[in-house]
Amino acid sequence: MSERLELLIKDVVYPGKGLSRGPDGKVVFVDGGIDGERVEAEVVKRYKTYDVARLISVIEPSPYRVAPRCDHYRLCSVYQVMDYHYQVRLKLRQLNAMMKGIYTQKIEFLPADSIFGYRNKVRFRVDWRGRKAGYISSEGEVVDVEECHLALRGINEVWRHIRPILWDRPVEELDSVEIRADRDGRILVNLFVSDDAPALQDLAMRIGGLESVTGVVRIKGLSVKELVGERFLEVEVAGRKFRFYATNFFQVNYEMAEKIVALLRQWILRLESRVILDLFAGVGFLGLSVADAVRWVYAVESDPLAGKALEVNGDYAGFGNLSYKIGNAGKIVWEVFEDPRLKKSVDTVVVDPPRTGLSKSVREFLRKNSKVRSLIYVSCDPMTLRRDLSELKPVYKVERMYIVDMFPNTPHIETVTILTRRKK
Ligand SMILES: C[S@@+](CC[C@H](N)C(=O)[O-])C[C@H]1O[C@@H](n2cnc3c(N)ncnc32)[C@H](O)[C@@H]1O
């Protein structure tokens, strides 16, 4: 039998593990637990320098502990039991610790407007044998989820109607159902399949018949096919209209995405940026949001389907000052300066990379290209941000750092960092 311990949680470290010490002084990470709490936990894995334990019960609760809204909250985040003010302090404390030696000034925190009901995209896995559809547990099992409190209301409403349809006519090739919502409750449903199946069209027709659903799409690997209706949604964010297709990235929290745009605009004006290079541009959300404030926006994105959206969104913005390239940012950055319209003129680079952060090639480009006067780094992973900033530190000074709380009630930390090139 696994060992049970009574532990005192000393801290909560990114990304959300309770840190404590066992009777022998060895570090034990507990999934759940707020600092100051005494808990009972069961050791589930042992490593050389630390153990990992599962929370069994809270013996002495923290005054910051609140009742969770869902039974399954631990599947997606243990932060739901933390009072929001505590979450704010915790994220600041964690980021301050991670930025030691890189940025020692005040980190500003932009709190979330809605701490529940904000996610515009949710993916539910399907387990046909167990007749379950929901989130995956740490043991790799699908746990039934009828409602996700982090999701926009429209997503939960449509999910309630999709669930019975799934069991009516099983399509065993269907691995998961992703639901995306715009700001007016219109829904796009992505059906992720392992293979094509004749019954899929019928399932799509039934889902497509639901009132709010405007499109149902089949996704198999990289192949995207519309089964019913349109394969995109359109949203107005920060006063501008954007289209995104089924598999395109779009910021998952519309309200907080507007706060990122406000910061971006404030700094673009302050830095007197003229030509911006929007790297990892997605459907052009960041660059096009400030297109009216600059002379030219040059976007780089790897997703070919995003090219179509960039085209449409550039027209929606209507300033005629967007050009873009589809491909790997690490390669394209070196080609950008070949473009006669841009030659030697990009002064500000905006980066919003995936969790992996910037590639070596992008970091090298940013260091070497002395025309780049400023860098605005939007990050969803403070660990890779730290790596990138410490490498850029000899060349760039961190002027300001913000947490924009895109993902309340989860451990995720979204940051915006403003950097300027040091004078030689
Ligand atoms: C976090 S999203 C940001 C999107 C956009 N800035 C926005 O605000 O909607 C990261 C984007 O980078 C793209 N991407 C990932 N790896 C890339 C690479 N090596 N080169 C160019 N784009 C990449 C992804 O397809 C995704 O659209």
pLDDT band at 393 (very low <50, low <70, confident <90, very high): very high
- Percent share of the chain, pLDDT over 70: 99
Q: Ligand 1 centre and the CA of 244: distance in Å?
A: 13
Token reading at 319:
């300033």
Q: Report how far residue 257's alpha carbon sits from residue 112's, in angstroms, rounded to the nearest whole number.
A: 10
The predicted-structure confidence for 334-356, as pLDDT tens digits, reads as follows 887 777 766 658 999 999 999 99
Other Cβ atoms less than 10 A from the Cβ of 303: the count is 19
Instruction: Report which protein residue has its CA nearest ligand 1's atom 13.
Output: 280
The 8-class DSSP code of residue 291 comes to G
- Percent share of the chain, pLDDT over 90: 91
Q: Which residues contact 412 (CB under 8 A, 6 or more apart)?
A: 15, 380, 406
Atom number in ligand 1 closest to CA 283: 9
Q: Of the residues 302, 358, 412, which should be mutated to test ligand 1's pocket, given the most ligand atoms within 8 Å of the CB?
A: 302
**How are the residues of the chain apportioned to helix, strand and coil, as percentages rounded to the nearest 5?**
25, 35, 40
Q: Ligand 1 centre and the CA of 56: distance in Å?
A: 39
Q: What is the rounded average pLDDT of the residues 46-75?
A: 94
pLDDT band at 77 (very low <50, low <70, confident <90, very high): confident
Instruction: Report which protein residue has its CA nearest ligand 1's atom 11.
Output: 280
Instruction: Report which protein residue has its CA nearest ligand 1's atom 16.
Output: 302
Instruction: Report which protein residue has its CA nearest ligand 1's atom 19.
Output: 328
pLDDT at 68 (0 to 100): 94
Ligand 1: residues with CB < 6 A are: 249-251, 280-282, 285-286, 300-303, 306, 328-330, 352-354
What is residue 51's three-state secondary structure? strand
Q: Ligand 1 centre and the CA of 183: distance in Å?
A: 22
Q: Report how far residue 74's alpha carbon sits from residue 259's, in angstroms, rounded to the nearest whole number.
A: 28
**Vertex 403: Cα angle to 416 and 260 (nearest 5):** 50
Atom number in ligand 1 closest to CA 328: 20
Average pLDDT, the chain: 95
pLDDT at 169 (0 to 100): 82
Please say if the pLDDT value at position 389 is more than 90.
Answer: yes
Q: Is 67 exposed, middle or buried (0-12, 13-18, 19+ CB in 10 A)?
A: exposed
pLDDT band at 236 (very low <50, low <70, confident <90, very high): very high
Token reading at 197:
């199946």
Q: Ligand 1 centre and the CA of 309: distance in Å?
A: 13
Q: Ligand 1 centre and the CA of 95: distance in Å?
A: 23
Alpha carbon distance, N-terminus to C-terminus of the chain: 63
Q: Is 89 exposed, middle or buried (0-12, 13-18, 19+ CB in 10 A)?
A: middle
pLDDT at 344 (0 to 100): 59
The predicted-structure confidence for 159-183, as pLDDT tens digits, reads as follows 999 999 999 988 999 999 999 999 9
Please say if the pLDDT value at position 9 is more than 60.
Answer: yes
Please say if the pLDDT value at position 293 is more than 60.
Answer: yes
The predicted-structure confidence for 145-157, as pLDDT tens digits, reads as follows 999 999 999 999 9
Q: Of the residues 280, 362, 407, which should be mutated to test ligand 1's pocket, given the most ligand atoms within 8 Å of the CB?
A: 280
Instruction: Report which protein residue has its CA nearest ligand 1's atom 25.
Output: 303
Q: Report how far residue 338's alpha carbon sits from residue 346's, in angstroms, rounded to the nearest whole number.
A: 12
For the chain, the farthest-separated pair of C-alpha atoms sits apart, in whole angstroms, at 69
Q: Ligand 1 centre and the CA of 345: distance in Å?
A: 23
In contact, 39 and 18? CB cutoff 8 Å: yes
Q: Would you list the DSSP string of 145-166?
A: -S--TTB-HHHHHHHHHHHHHH
Q: Could you tell me the domains of the chain?
A: 4-65 (2.40.50.140), 96-114+249-421 (3.40.50.150), 121-234 (2.40.50.1070)
Please say if the pLDDT value at position 377 is more than 90.
Answer: yes
Paired strand residues for 223 = 220
Q: Report how far residue 417's alpha carbon sits from residue 105's, in angstroms, rounded to the nearest whole number.
A: 12
Question: Measuring CA to CA, which residue among 393, 50, 177, 368 is closest to residue 377?
Answer: 393
Q: Of the residues 235, 240, 245, 249, which should be mutated to test ligand 1's pocket, given the most ligand atoms within 8 Å of the CB?
A: 249
In contact, 357 and 385? CB cutoff 8 Å: yes
Q: Which residues contact 232 (CB under 8 A, 6 or more apart)?
A: 188, 215, 243, 244, 245, 246, 309
In contact, 158 and 182? CB cutoff 8 Å: no
Q: Ligand 1 centre and the CA of 354: distance in Å?
A: 6
pLDDT at 336 (0 to 100): 78
Strand bridging mode 142-144 / 132-136? antiparallel
Please say if the pLDDT value at position 290 is more than 90.
Answer: yes
User: E strands of 221-315, at which residues?
Assistant: 223-229, 232-237, 240-245, 275-279, 296-301
Q: Is 418 exposed, middle or buried (0-12, 13-18, 19+ CB in 10 A)?
A: buried
Q: Report how far residue 241's alpha carbon sits from residue 376's, in angstroms, rounded to the nearest whole number.
A: 23
Q: Ligand 1 centre and the CA of 288: distance in Å?
A: 15
Q: Ligand 1 centre and the CA of 123: distance in Å?
A: 19
Atom number in ligand 1 closest to CA 251: 9
Atom number in ligand 1 closest to CA 280: 12
